[in-house]
Amino acid sequence: MKTKNGAEKTLLEKYLEDPEFARLMAQGDLIMEVTETICELLEKEKISRKELADRLGKTKGFVSQLLSGGRNLTLRTVADILHFLGYRVALKPYKEESKRQESKIIEFKTSFTPRKKPMENWKELGVSHADNYRDKILAVTG
C-alpha cells in the first residue's frame, strides 16, 4: 500500500488504519507518557517509590504496578501523585489528522521531552495483533 505522496506505508501506518488498534495505541501512548513523566519527576525531586507510596497511603508494590502499567492509573491518582510532588498538569489536546502529529499531549513543568517518533521499526517488536502491542512495547522500552 502507498500513501498519498506515493511512498510505501510503514507497518505502523497500516496498523493505525484499524480503528481498534488506533484506539489501543492512543491509550498506550497516553499511559506511557504519564508514567514516564511521573518517574522522571520522582527522580528529579529525589523521591523514592516507597516514599511516594507512604505519602499516598499505599504500598510500594501498588506504586510500582501503577508506574509499570500493570494497574489502572486513574486521573484522581495522577492528581494525587502530582500534588504530593508539587506539580499540576496542563492538558493540551489536539485534533488528530491523517498523519500523527509530533507534539506533546500533556505538558508538565519539567525537563521531560517525549520521543519525537515513538517506535519506528515495529517489525522488531514482532507485533501481529493489537492486543499484544503494549506488552511488546513495554518489553522493549521498559
Measured between alpha carbons, how far is 93 from 12 in angstroms, rounded to an integer? 22
Residue type at 131 in one-letter notation = D
Percentage of the chain lying above the pLDDT 70 cut: 64
Kindly list the domain boundaries of the chain, sorted by start residue: 11-141
69-86 confidence digits (pLDDT tens): 888 889 999 999 999 999
For the record, the C-alpha cell of 33 comes out as 507518557
pLDDT, one tens digit per residue, over 5-14 is 667 888 878 8
pLDDT at 1 over 90: no
Rounded Cα gap, residues 76 and 79, in angstroms: 5
pLDDT at position 82 is: 95
Query: Lowest mean pLDDT: which of 12-21, 73-82, 108-117?
Result: 108-117
As a whole number of angstroms, the distance between CA 88 and CA 126 comes to 37
Percent of the chain with pLDDT over 90: 35
- Per-residue confidence (pLDDT) for residue 6, from 0 to 100: 66
**Distance separating alpha carbons of residues 43 and 11, to the nearest angstrom:** 35
Q: Which of these, 40, 43, 97, 31, lies nearest to 69 by C-alpha position?
A: 31
